[in-house]
Amino acid sequence: MSQGALCSVCHVPEPLFAFFFWLGYCNSCLNPFIYVCTSLEFKQAFRQILCGGGRRRGPPPVGASVVSRAARPPAPAAGRASPRAAASV
């Protein structure tokens, strides 16, 4: 392993360099599992990727109703009451 990238003057013992070099690789391998244990959002995304997440590839079944986000009415702005809430008062 090349240690010249660290410092041309200092001498780092080969076993110490190898230990930290492999510790970095082990950390990279463990990170996805650590994030799954600590982050709910990451856990859901990881599960969706591994299990397919119920997404279908290809066209929707015949007769299925598909509404795009652009076709939906906008959500009420924060702090404003929706028309239904105002009518019920």
Asked if residue 19 has pLDDT above 80, the reply is: yes
Is 46 within the bounds of a domain? yes
Is 37 within the bounds of a domain? yes
Cα 59 to Cα 56: distance, rounded to the nearest angstrom: 8
Cα 4 to Cα 7: distance, rounded to the nearest angstrom: 6
Is 20 within the bounds of a domain? no
Is 63 within the bounds of a domain? no
Number of domains in the chain: 1
* Residue-number span of the structural domain to which 39 is assigned: 30-54
Is 67 within the bounds of a domain? no
Is 25 within the bounds of a domain? no
Cα 42 to Cα 29: distance, rounded to the nearest angstrom: 16
Mean pLDDT on 8-12: 80
Q: Which residues contact 36 (CB under 8 A, 6 or more apart)?
A: 42, 43, 46
pLDDT in tens, 56-72: 556 666 766 655 555 55
Is 18 within the bounds of a domain? no
Is 36 within the bounds of a domain? yes
Which pLDDT does position 80 carry in this prediction?
Answer: 57
